Chain A
Amino acid sequence: MMEKMIFGRFIPGDSFVHRMDPRAKILFVFLFIAIVFVANNTLTYLLLLAFTFFVVFLSKIRLYFLVNGLKPVFILLIFTFMLHIFFTKGGDLLFSFGFVEVYEEGLRQGIFISIRFLVLVFITSILTLTTSPISITDGIEVLLGPFKRIKLPVHELALMMSISLRFIPTLMDETGKILKAQMARGSDIGSGPLKKRIKAVVPLLIPLFVSAFKRAEDLATAMEVRGYRGGEGRTRYRQLDWRMRDTLSLLMLVGFTAVLWYFRT
């Protein structure tokens, strides 16, 4: 179940999107989030959808995996869609049974909101699916660079983030192992009344904490031994490489914004 989730994971590859500079991709996503709110009629929403699928196409991530891996997100999507359908009134009454009445405006809003939600999830997923965690951290560290002046510990934050990301697969494995070990001892997670379920989590959480602390301690030792003492005087091994395609991608997005703006009502 857990292993099917692809939200936040990285699939190595060699597409146009994979090769983009992480800084460009991060800027792209933030800009895109803003642009989504420009759309306000059927045409602009359709354009938004088309643009998103174009990006998915460029990333060479199979749509099937994307849809399959984001299933939990779709449940949320259907829920918001329903909310709008049932509670937004306005325009013609389309149909009604019992106390439920569906209006034209409700349906419209429901569809629009869903599209907005969908494209946001798709585009952010494409960012994480095509960019290794370390590149994302690098990108963020450089983009946040100017904030060092106001004493924001940018380097420490970035390092913390990259280490957490590095340990996610390890901790996931660990959780699986401990879960199995306790299941083998007859602990029954995921059935029975709530109180029993909460109790059943304890044998899972305690070993997880213990081992996470142990790992953190070992890691701190390993870092100290290799001479780590904060960001001061450190040099960087990773150098980012901003190319023409990165500039072009951002320009393309700006162009697209202009088009959306033109067609919006």
Chain B
Amino acid sequence: MDILLQEVGYSYAMNTPFEKRALHNVNIHIPSGSYTAIIGHTGSGKSTVLQHLNALLKPTEGSVVIGEQQVDAKTKGKHLRDIRRQVGIVFQFPEQQLFDETVLKDIMFGPLNYGVSEEEASRRAHELVEQLGLPADVLEKSPFDLSGGQMRRVAIAGVLAMEPDVLVLDEPTAGLDPKGRREIMDLFHELHVKKGLTTVLVTHSMEDAARYADQVAIMHQGKCVATGEPKDIFSNEEQLLDYRLEPPRTIRLQRKFEEKMGIKLDSISLTEEALAKNLALAFLEGREAE
């Protein structure tokens, strides 16, 4: 499902003394099946953009096209439910949205709201709990008796259970330990590939953006100032610095290496594995050259 933001502007608290302009003329195209990372300095409007993707916010200017549907300032609430089923959103600290008596019921909440049958919802919950690496007995526990990392997974399962076509993630791993962080990011990537999801990730981690995304958009002061492939976005260091961002560590190390050696590696290293390979190659070539 394609999503298209056209000249989107948004102000919080319109027409009050507290009015706050958050977006100006934002244009972003999220092709079906892509993995898009949205990066930007704090307060640049990333979360505001995200909430337009499933019509939790309606643009005050311009329009958002989600699949077949167009949403603008005048769109009525009724038509939005369908969009929200197709576009699942995992907010920052999603464990804050847990409420039901048992983990099972909580995961089933979303699907049941959208008219999925009890059996089907329960089947999905069982499947997801396993997929997310949670012990099967958590299903009957209260979500509030779980550890922080487990609660996070249950909340994510609650969104995945709606089987959305588009998965929108707002810093899904904040506060987790390094292992938990990696597991969850890998899981999202696996789902993206296996189920052919369209994924949109907001993150402060340039490393994650470089590793997983095939499209990167930079937000700066409420505007989308650049979109492109990770290799192009991240190799343009000046542009990143202008928007108060840094290149991923792998690229920083690659640059240091290149500078010291006075050579240029063939390709830009977006992942640690790629960097190791690139460096090894450079050594090999160096040896052959002798």
Contacts and interface: CB of A to CB of B under 8 A. Distances in A.
A and B touch in the complex (CB under 8 A): yes
B97 A185 contact: yes
Contacts of A180: 51, 56, 91
A178 B16 contact: no
B96 A177 contact: yes
Interface string B50-86: 0100101000000000000000000000000100110
A72 interface: no
A206 B100 CA distance: 8
B114 interface: yes
B84 A178 contact: no
Nearest to B20: A3
A210 B17 contact: no
A249 B246 CA distance: 56
B12 A3 contact: yes
A15 to B, nearest CB: 13
Contacts of B17: 6, 11, 62, 65
- Helix, strand, loop or mixed for chain A's interface? helix
A247 interface: no
B218 to A, nearest CB: 24
A219 B51 CA distance: 30
Nearest to B56: A180
A178 B96 contact: yes
B94 interface: yes
Contact of A69 (B12, B16, B97, B100): B16
A62 B97 CA distance: 39
Size range of the chain A interface in the assembly: 20 to 34
Given A184-B88, A188-B81, A211-B96, A6 B110 contact: no
Given A68-B16, A69-B16, A207-B97, A186 B91 contact: no
B23 interface: no
A181 B94 contact: yes
B89 interface: yes
B109 interface: yes
Contacts of B210: none
Given A185-B110, A188-B113, A3 B97 contact: no
Contacts of A186: 81, 84-85, 110, 113-114, 162
Nearest to B101: A206
A187 interface: yes
A203 B97 CA distance: 8
Given A181-B91, A187-B113, A207 B15 contact: no
Interface string A163-184: 0000000000010011011111
B257 interface: no
B243 interface: no
Contacts of A9: 18
Contact of B15 (A68, A184, A211): A68
Given A3-B16, A185-B113, 14 more contacts: A3-B13, A3-B18, A4-B13, A4-B15, A9-B18, A68-B16, A69-B16, A180-B91, A181-B94, A181-B96, A184-B56, A186-B110, A203-B109, A211-B96
23 contacts: A3-B13, A4-B13, A6-B16, A6-B17, A65-B17, A181-B97, A182-B97, A183-B84, A184-B56, A184-B88, A184-B89, A185-B158, A185-B159, A186-B81, A186-B85, A186-B114, A203-B99, A203-B109, A207-B97, A210-B96, A210-B99, A210-B144, A211-B96
